[in-house]
Structure 1
Amino acid sequence: MSTLYLVATPIGNLSDFSPRGVEILNQVDQIACEDTRTSSVLLQHFQIQKPTFSFHQHNEHRKVNHLVNLLNGGTDVALISDAGMPGISDPGFLAARAAHQNGHTVTAIPGPDAATTAVAASGLPCDRYLFEGFLPPKKGRETRIREIADSDITTVLYVSPHKLVRFLNRFSEFAEPDRWICIARELTKKFEEVQRGQLSELIRIWEERESIKGEFVVIISGKSYSE
C-alpha cells in the first residue's frame, strides 16, 4: 500500500510553506504538479529535487490512471497545485478518490488557502459560510447568483479579475445596495488588499479602477446581516 499526499502550497508568500510540506516533498518518489513550470519555482527555492509530472484540469482524467499505476507499484506520490490545497477549486478530487478506491492511503498536508485566509480577514461572520469557488461561466450562473443573494450565511467566491465588476453589477440586480462585501486581492503577496464595504460603494470603487489585476476572493455577507 502506497500513500498519496495532498500537499498545500503557499498562495503567494513562500514563507508560508510548512516544514512538514517540505519534508514530504523531499520524502516522496514523485510529485504531480498542476503546472510543472510554476511548481519548479517552489521546488528550486526549497532545494527539492524529485521527478515531476503534470496533473492539471485538462489532463486530470487521463493522468489519474498513471498516478494509480505508480501507487500500485509501491511509489509514494505527492500532489501539489499552483497555490493552496489540491482539490479545492484545483485538480485533486479524482486523484484522491482513485487512490482510496485502490486501497491506498490519502494524507493531506495542511497549509494556507485563499478562501479561509480571506474570510478570516473579512470581518464578516464566519461561524458558518458557503464556499462556492468559481461560478459556472454560463449555464446555471444566474441561478447561483440569485441563491447567493437570497442566502442568510456568508458566501465565499473566487472571481477572475476581468469578471469582477461584471459580477458585482450582476449581483446588485438581486441584492440590496447596502449588502456587506469584502474583496480580497493578492493575499499574502506584495500588493495585498482587503477592501470591505457595502455593495454600492465597492461597485463605484472598482468601476473607477484603471486596471484590475491579480487573484480575487469575494466574501458576501448573508442577506440579514447588518452592522
Structure 2
Amino acid sequence: MSARMKALCCVCGSLRTCSRPRNHRAENYWMAGPIDRDWHRETGDLKCADCGRVTTHALIHPEQDTLRDHAEQMQLIGLRWTNPRLSEAKQAEIRRQYHEAFPQNPYMHHRYWKNDERTAREAGRDMFPAMCGVMMPVPKQYRENGRDVTEFDAPEQLTDEEMLNHEAFDPETGMWWDVGDCVNCLHYRNAKLLRERREELAKVLLKASVYTDKLDADLVSALLEKLRGMADK
C-alpha cells in the first residue's frame, strides 16, 4: 500500500488523506484468496471530520498504481471481456469465482450465443456460460417437424408485462429479485456487435477510399459532412 493516499468517506463522501487505516480490508488480488460475498474491499476505518466520528472509508490508490483499477478489471473479466495479460484458463477461473461471490437472481433472463449452447450440448455438459458469464442450464430440446427446437423454461416472461413488472421471492437466497433481462448480457452483446460493425465499416471506408473518383456528388457531400469532423480530431 502506498505511504499516503486519498480516502473517501462512505457516509458523507468527503475526502481526506491517510496512510494505513484501521481494520484495513485488502483487495483479493486476482481472486487468489478465499472467495466470499463481502465486496467491501480496499476499505478501512478513519475519523471523518465532517461526520465527527469514525466511519468506513474507501481507499483511492494513486494514479501510478498499476493495480488501482483491479476490481474493475476483475469485473470485466467476470463479465466475459478478454484480458490479454491472462491465460484463457485463468480468465475462466476468475469468471467462475466472480459469479460465485454474488447471490444470483434466479428470475433474470440471460442471453447466450448459440455456439456456446451447441458446444456444451455436444460435450454432454449440463451448464454453459451466458453472454455475461453466468453459468446457466443447457436448454432442453425436442423434435418438431424434423427439427431440433430449443425449449425455454419460461418463454412468456419475455413479453408478459405482468411477469416483467414485479419482484419475485427466492427461498434459496432469502431475497426479493426483479424479474427482467440481464443488463450485463445486453451490454456484452451490444459491445460485441458494435466491434463487428466498426470492423465492417473500416473495410468499407478503405475500399471506398480507392474509388473516390467514381462517387457521385451527393454521396461525396454526405460523406464529407459526416467524416470531416473526425479527420480534424
The TM-score normalised by the length of structure 1 is: 0.29
Q: What TM-score results when the alignment is normalised by the length of structure 2? A: 0.29
Higher relative contact order (CA 8 A, sep 6+): 1
Please tell me whether Structure 1 or Structure 2 has the larger radius of gyration of its CA atoms. Answer: 2
